[in-house]
């Protein structure tokens, strides 16, 4: 590539809200075979709300929410924000231990509270069969189920709903049309990921990927299909952004993700990914 064509390309991209940190990212993007997306905050808005709940063992909704919000109060996870927002009672003092990729354990008001996914409950020996209908229904709507156990017994199945970004579906279609393989990498459950992916027309789904394993998922995609561009926004996404041939960070994301990105999409919308690809391919074409 000539320095001039790269300069023109990065300049044009910048006008579209796509900031290329390095000129070679502009070139590598044009050579990508796969575009892999994080889900929460990247394809979805990342500001979920508590949308439904089922209670078990005689638990009272307001009590459950108060314990949950107290435990989640200091977490920055989008699920935590949704649960805290749904509570209207005072926050109680809590001792909290995060369980990466699964949820958290806390002691609140002398009670042991477990909040998270099925894995978290099973690992703690908590019986979750009663929650199966609620779990299935949440997942079929593309929502994230959050189970709550209090003092060793299942107390509630909450469902947290995030909205797809309005341009996500068109973005996926445009990328596929451009000949790219589109993949979804998420820590969320397989069932939830499947519902979201099917809404968006994505058929390569890598779900229940632990925070430490997202970079591995990128490596696997590269081994299978060739150079990978990864788009993400979270703290969890930083290693995958660094591992990818091109890491694209949502400008609306966490500082850690932004620092790890080769490309920053300033607006946080997904069609910037298509704009970036278009500019990249034009630039590459001009230099041949
Ligand atoms: P992602 O960012 O893709 O949602 P995470 O690794 O952050 O992936 O979370 C994976 C799963 O772990 C979530 O879908 C949720 O079920 C559970 N989880 C993580 N953090 C929390 C939390 N603070 N409260 C409740 N559940 C959580
Ligand atoms: Mg995210």
- Asked if residues 106 and 117 have their Cβ atoms less than 8 Å apart, the reply is no
280 C-alpha to ligand 1 centroid (Å)? 34
- Asked if residues 246 and 253 have their Cβ atoms less than 8 Å apart, the reply is no
Per-domain residue ranges of the chain:
3-45+164-286, 49-161
Three-state SS annotation for 86-135: HCCCCCCCEEEEEECCCEEEEEECCEEEEEECHHHHHHCCCCCHHHHHHH
Tokens of 267: 């607006």
Q: What CATH number was assigned to the domain covering residues 3-45+164-286? A: 3.40.50.1000
The answer to whether residue 286 scores a pLDDT higher than 70 is no
The count of residues in the chain is 288
pLDDT band (50, 70, 90) for residue 12: very high
The answer to whether residue 191 scores a pLDDT higher than 60 is yes
| Cα angle value 171/78/124 (rounded, 5°) | 120
In whole angstroms, what is the distance from residue 188 CA to residue 101 CA? 8
The answer to whether residue 276 scores a pLDDT higher than 80 is yes
Angle between helices 61-72 and 78-86 (to 10 degrees): 140
At the topology level, CATH places domain 49-161 in Calcium-transporting ATPase, cytoplasmic domain N (3.40.1110)
The answer to whether residue 17 scores a pLDDT higher than 80 is yes
Q: Would you give the end-to-end CA distance of the chain in angstroms?
A: 8
**What radius of gyration do the chain's Cα atoms show?**
21
- Strand pairing category for 94-99 and 246-250: unpaired
Backbone CA torsion sign across 91, 145, 237, 42: negative
- Asked if residues 147 and 121 have their Cβ atoms less than 8 Å apart, the reply is yes
Supply the pLDDT for residue 15: 93
Where are the extended beta strands (E) located within the chain?
18-20, 34-38, 49-55, 94-99, 103-108, 111-116, 144-150, 153-161, 181-185, 204-206, 228-232, 246-250, 263-265
Which ligand neighbours the alpha carbon of 211 most closely? 1
Mutate to test the pocket of ligand 1, among 188, 195, 237 (most ligand atoms within 8 A of CB): 188
- 213 as an active site residue: the answer is no
Region 179-190: mean pLDDT is 96
| Cα angle value 154/158/160 (rounded, 5°) | 150
Average pLDDT across the chain, whole number: 95
For 69-121, the pLDDT digits (tens) are 999 999 989 999 999 999 999 999 999 999 999 999 999 999 999 999 999 99
Supply the pLDDT for residue 2: 83
Mutate to test the pocket of ligand 1, among 77, 162, 189, 193 (most ligand atoms within 8 A of CB): 77
Over pLDDT 70: what percentage of the chain? 99
- Asked if residues 94 and 71 have their Cβ atoms less than 8 Å apart, the reply is yes
The interface predicted TM-score (ipTM) is 0.96
77 C-alpha to ligand 2 centroid (Å)? 9
SS3 78: helix
């Amino acid at each position: 590539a000539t320095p001039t064509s790269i300069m023109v390309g990065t300049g044009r991209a910048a006008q579209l809200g796509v900031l290329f940190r390095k000129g070679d990212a502009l070139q590598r993007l044009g050579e990508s075979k796969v575009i892999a997306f994080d889900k929460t905050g990247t394809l979805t808005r990342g500001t979920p709300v508590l949308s439904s709940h089922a209670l078990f063992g005689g638990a009272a909704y307001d009590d459950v929410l108060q314990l949950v919000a107290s435990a989640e109060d200091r977490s920055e996870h989008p699920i935590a924000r949704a649960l805290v927002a749904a509570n209207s009672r005072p926050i109680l003092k809590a001792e909290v231990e995060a369980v990466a990729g699964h949820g958290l354990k806390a002691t609140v008001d002398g009670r042991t509270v477990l909040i998270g996914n099925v894995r978290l409950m099973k690992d703690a020996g908590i019986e979750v069969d009663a929650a199966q209908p609620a779990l299935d229904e949440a997942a079929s709507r593309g929502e994230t189920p959050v189970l709550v156990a209090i003092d060793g017994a299942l107390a509630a199945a909450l469902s947290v709903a995030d909205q797809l970004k309005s341009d996500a579906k068109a973005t996926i279609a445009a990328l596929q049309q451009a000949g790219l393989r589109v993949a979804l990498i998420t820590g969320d459950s397989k069932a939830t990921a499947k519902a979201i992916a099917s809404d968006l027309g994505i058929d390569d789904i890598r779900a229940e990927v632990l925070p430490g394993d997202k970079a591995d998922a990128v490596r696997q995609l590269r081994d299978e299909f060739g150079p990978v561009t990864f788009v993400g926004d979270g703290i969890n996404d930083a290693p995958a952004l660094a591992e990818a041939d091109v890491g694209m960070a949502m400008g609306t994301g966490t500082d850690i993700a932004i620092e790890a990105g080769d490309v920053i999409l300033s607006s946080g919308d997904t069609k910037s990914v298509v704009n970036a690809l278009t500019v990249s391919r034009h630039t590459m074409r001009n230099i041949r």
